[in-house]
Amino acid sequence: MTTAFVTGANRGLGRHFATELLARGAKVYAAARRADDIDLPGAHPIALDITDPSAVAAAAATAHDVDLLINNAGISTGAPLLGDLEGVRAEMDVNFWGTLSMVRAFAPVLAANGGGAVVNVASALSWFAAPGAGAYAVSKAANWNMSNALRLELAGQGTQVTSVHLGLADTDMAKAIDGPKTDPAVVAARTLEAVEAGDLEVVVDEWSAMVKASLAGDPRRFYDRLLGA
């Protein structure tokens, strides 16, 4: 039986990950800043701020039987890189440093339990930048290449690292943004299927696939299209 640890499990995509895992018979540690915010029957609530090293260490000590770590917790402040640096730092603290802290703490746990897998929820914005999402794009680009590096560093202990990329999911984080949105339940199901299949990357939707494919071309064509030039 899979034993999973899901960050940001109180709402949005994280809640759907936890729900899908429970439906598949997994034991689930569901983490959020406030454990009282977790209302998933059958889950094991854990209070966790992934930017707090002591809280991360305590979570890894408690969840010592985990073989699947889903790093879903993330923030989007809308901060531009040339604006107030507080928002930029906040995004990096959660989306990169906090996620890395989780992997560092849980890597020995995963090794002790046979290797297991790490899922890092990145974004289509790992591969491009958009107006109003400068800090977020940078943090998710770092998150993506962190997965690539961790995949190499954890290979020796048999830990699979899977990076997840999507455009908009129909969650609170994207409620103010217009555009097609993927059902978060679909994102969770596709991701877990990909992990079971041993896939290293999950490209959830057509938009993300288009963005990734554009990296092989002239960036001017992509950004002219983005800016309506």
In whole angstroms, how far apart are CA 50 and each of 79, 98, 120, 123, 129?
A: 20, 5, 13, 19, 25
> How would you class 22 by CB atoms within 10 Å of its CB: exposed for 0-12, middle for 13-18, buried for 19 or more?
middle
Q: Which positions are catalytic?
A: 136, 140
pLDDT for 63 equals 98
**Cβ neighbours of residue 84 closer than 8 Å, sequence gap 6 or more:** none
pLDDT for 54 equals 98
Per residue of the chain (229 residues), give pLDDT as tens: 899 999 999 998 999 999 999 999 999 999 999 999 999 999 999 999 999 999 999 999 999 999 999 999 999 999 999 998 999 999 999 999 999 999 999 999 999 999 999 999 999 999 999 888 999 999 999 999 999 999 999 999 999 999 999 987 565 564 555 656 678 899 999 999 999 999 999 999 998 999 999 999 998 888 888 777 5
Assigned CATH for 3-226: 3.40.50.720
pLDDT for 175 equals 58
Statement: the pTM of the whole predicted model exceeds 0.85: yes
Is residue 9 within 8 Å of residue 48, measured between CB atoms? no
pLDDT for 24 equals 97
Domain positions in the chain are 3-226
Rounded Cα gap, residues 114 and 207, in angstroms: 35
| Strands lying side by side in the sheet with 27-32 | 44-47, 27-32, 3-6, 68-71, 117-121, 160-165, 201-203
pLDDT for 131 equals 87
- In the chain, beta strands by DSSP E: 3-6, 27-32, 44-47, 68-71, 117-121, 160-165, 201-203
**Cβ neighbours of residue 41 closer than 8 Å, sequence gap 6 or more:** 22
Q: Which two tokens stand for residue 219?
A: 């960036």
pLDDT for 224 equals 84
